Each structure stands twice: as C-alpha cells, then as structure tokens.
Amino acid sequence: MSENGVNSNEHSNEREGSSKAALSSLISTMLMSTLAVSITNIALPALASSFDTTISAVSWVVIAYLVSVTTFIVGAGVLGDILGKKPLLLLGVGIFSFASLMCALSLNFWMLVTARFIQGLGATFILSQTLAIASASFPKSKTGTVMGLLSSTAAIGTALGPVVGGFLLDAFGWHSIFWVLFTLGGINLALSSTLIPIERFKYTGTVKQYDVIGTLLLGLSCLLYALSMTVHATIAPLSSAVLFISAILVFMVFLISQRKGQFPLINLAFFHHTLRNVTLASNFLVDAVAMSTLVVGPYYLTYGLGLSVTKAGMLMAVGPVLAACSGYPSGKLVDVIGVKRVMLLGLSQMFIGVICFAFLPVRWGEYGYIAALFILAPGRQLFLASNHTFVMSSATKREKGLAAGVLNLVKNLGLMTGASMMVGVFASQLKNANAAIATQQELGAAFTSTFLLAGVAIGASLLSIYLFSNKASEFH
C-alpha cells in the first residue's frame, strides 16, 4: 500500500475514533438531561412536606422544567446553527450545572421552581445540540444507528430516574438529588470540552442574525400552550380555552414576523417539505399516546386492578426499560432496510400495541398490561429511530440545529398534550371525578375507550405517512 493510502487510512481511523469519542460524551450528556426529568417525580411528596405546600403547587417542580424546555428549544437549536454547536452545548451544560446547584441550595419553594426553570433552559441547549452534533459527526449510512442509540439513552434516563431518585431520597434526602445532577454536570462539562472537536461545527454567523423578537413570540406561544395543557396544576385564574386561544393568536403573529424578518428564527421554507411535516405531526401524536400510557395507566393499575403503589410503579417501569432495550436495534434496522419500511413497521406495531393496551389489561390484568407494552414500546422506538433519522438527514447542514429544535419541540408538545387531554378523556367517562370510588367496570370501560381513541390517532398517522411516502422519491 502506498504512503498516501496509509495516511488516508490513518486519517479515516482517527476521524472515526474522534466521532465515537464525541458520541460517548453526547450519550453521557443526554443521559443527564433526561434523568433530570424523571428523577424529581418520586421526590414530590417529600418536597410538598418539606416546603409545606400543596400537591398542585409542588407539581410545578416538574412543570417548570418541561415548560422551559418547550419554550426555548427551537431558539436554542437555531442559535447553535449561528454561533456553533459545541459552544452552545457547553453553555447548556454550564447553565444546567449552575441551576442544579441552585436547586440543592434552595431556601424556599419558589426558589426551587425558579432554579428548575433555569435548569430546563440549560437542557434546551443540551437536547438541541446533542442531536445536531451527532447527526453531523457520522455519515448518513450510520445516522439511524446513532439516533437509535440516543433514543435508547433517553429511555434509560427516564427509567433510571425514579430508581436513582428513590434511593437518594431514602438515604440522603431530597437535596442529594440535585447534588448528584450538579456533579454529573461538572463531569459532562469536562467530557464535552475534551472529546467533542469544535472545528466541524464552527459557523460564520453572528448573534446579530439571531431573531430575538421571533424567539420571544414563539416562546410566549409555547408557554401559553403549555399552561393551557397544565391549567389544572397552575395558580392562574385563566381558563384553559382562553390560554389556548391566546397561544394560537401569538403564534399567528410569530408566523407574520417570520415572513417579514430579514433573519427569521425559523426559515419557513423548512416546512415546505410536505412529507417531513407529516412525519413531525405523527411524532406529536406518537408521543402524546406514549405519555397517555404513563398518566392513565396508573389509575387503572391502582384503582381498577387494586395493585399497591410499589407494584404499580414496577409495572410502570416496564415500558421505559423495553424502550431502552429496543432503541439501538431499531436504529440499526433503519440503516439496514431503510427509513420508510421501519417507520411504517413501527407505526403498524404501535397501532396493534395500542389496541392491545385498550383490551388486554381489562381482560387479563397486569399480565395483559405487560403483554401490550411488549408490542407498543418497541414499536414506538422503531418509529422514533426512523423519524429522527429522516428529519435530521433531510435537513441541510445549516438546518441541523433547527431540525433538532423542532423535533424536541414537537416531542414536548406531544407529551404535554397527552398528559392533559388523555387524562381528560379518561376522566370524562367516569360517573364520578374521583377515580378511587369508581367501579372496576367503569374504570375498565373508560380505559378501553381512551386507548381506542389513541389507536385511531396512530392509525391516521400510519395511513397519512403511507399515502404521502408513495409520492416522495427520497423517502426510502
């Protein structure tokens, strides 16, 4: 072999090694940000007791984080396209770490809520830049594998949260949860600084090209929508309908500003890709349905089947564990047989899984619940791996941050919608608003009807993608 050939192979191996090192850092950072979502849930009763506050108020420890991510995620992605992805990732990890320290040192409840909001802001930079850097670091032939691996990582973080949080809470108290997140932030700051090369992600844009007004309008629209979806847990006197209508009006003003702006936050040409729009809409519905299994399921497990809280919690962990195990293989399958086949396979499996979820728990109890999850959870991972691969691969290099931001925005809007609307659908079919005094037959009928509706949503997504994909030559 010639000297040039040897140098070329060495350079290729060095580049591949650098990409793998960067990916390991991104996985660690992604794990931290997703862990922060679920690790606090189990501490809510302890926080309510410690700060002597109500259940509705203490839920803001979770809501503040989610609202912050939803509000700023697109702006964070676009800013990465302008100023560079690694600097924005490091900024996000730094903000996340500082906010974790604030949480641990909180002197009162609203200081903790404020710190969680700031922590969510840091997470927006982490989540948006992680996908963008990962997509840019590997060739398209390996994008599916990388997206599947990151999807598994997110599921692992979600599954580990209650376990790790419960251990820390019992052993050291609620402050220890945030001290651990602070420590992880410092470790990830060092890893990201060292392992992620900056040269590939430099851009010539300036902060003057960043659409501050557009960011504020989109953020306000997302905030109003988030509040409309969680109004039952807010202290605002406004109704859900008023908040929702306000969100739509502000979003319309945002769209007008994007058409007229010299440097818009979102280049609306990004949404001229019809099939990509359809897959994003399907992503919204898929995440809404996935969240409904986590928020409606406990009611039936606890009151319908009479399970203890501990046993119900263990069953609730089955879905995230299955998702963690199936994410990476799903991504590999995308690279082997193509995006279209895996996406249609995933939605088909989800459709079957949701229908099973509607009937099997009512018929066979906890065993039916587990059986349905074995179909549903891997099906969702097949869809997510293929959908993320398609959206990120179809975006240009300068749109990677925007694409990642839009994906995360759609995900969070879907999660909030599922948590609110599907619980509302379930509750509306009970004769009494208190599920604890409903009969097993009433709970079973409401559970089945709720997930039959979810099945309609997944079926509509499957049909839409099938029809539109036949017209798109690049979707293979």
- As a whole number of angstroms, the distance between CA 67 and CA 72 comes to 9
Which of 385, 394, 383 shows the shortest CA–CA distance to 344? 383
**3-class SS of residue 36:** helix
**CA separation for the pair 334, 363 (Å, rounded):** 35
216: CB partners within 8 A, 6+ apart: none
Query: Which token pair is 283?
Result: 């992503």
Query: How far, CA to CA in Å, does 142 sit from each of 10, 89, 329, 385, 393?
Result: 20, 22, 12, 12, 11
Please identify every stretch of the chain with a pLDDT value under 50, giving residue numbers as ranges: 1, 6, 8-11, 13-14, 200-202, 204, 233-235
Distance of CA 451 to the CA centre of its chain: 21
Rg (C-alpha) for the chain, rounded Å, is 22
CA distance 261 to 195: 37
> Pick from 221, 363, 383, 206: which is nearest to 300 by CA?
363
Measuring CA to CA, which residue among 268, 392, 381 is closest to residue 330? Answer: 381
Query: Torsion angle of alpha carbons 341, 159, 36, 145, nearest 10°?
Result: -30
Residue 226 in 3-state DSSP?
helix
Both tokens of residue 20? Answer: 């793998």
The amino acid present at 80, given as its one-letter code, is G
For residue 241, count other CB atoms closer than 10 A to its CB: 10
Q: What are phi and psi of 438, to 5 degrees?
A: -75, 155
CA-to-CA separations, 380 to 21, 45, 329, 375, in angstroms, rounded: 28, 31, 13, 9
Q: How many CA atoms lie within 13 A of 83 on its CB side?
A: 18
396 exposed, middle or buried (CB, 10 Å; 0-12, 13-18, 19+)?
exposed
Q: Which of 314, 350, 346, 351 is nearest to 330 (CA)?
A: 346
Tell me which residue of 210, 213, 209 sits closest to 221, measured CA to CA.
213
DSSP state of 396: -
What is the residue whose two structure tokens read 């809520």?
Answer: 113
Span between the terminal Cα atoms of the chain, in Å: 37
Q: What is the pLDDT of residues 41-56, one digit of tens each?
A: 667 767 877 888 765 5
Say which residue the tokens 């949260």 belong to.
161
Q: Which pLDDT score, from 0 to 100, does residue 298 have? A: 73
Angle ∠(149,151,157) on CA atoms, nearest 5: 105
Nearest one of 377, 405, 394 to 340, comparing CA atoms: 394
Sign of CA dihedral 266, 269, 275, 281: positive
Do the Cβ atoms of 386 and 346 come closer than 8 Å? Answer: yes
Distance between CA atoms of residues 367 and 349, nearest Å: 19
- What pLDDT does 111 receive? 93
Structure tokens at 183: 């420590």
What would the two tokens of residue 176 be?
């220890």
0.85 exceeded by the pTM? no
With CA atoms as reference, report the closest residue to 76 among 143, 127, 134: 127
Return d(Cα 203, Cα 285) in angstroms, integer. Answer: 34
DSSP, collapsed to helix, strand or coil, labels residue 232 as: helix
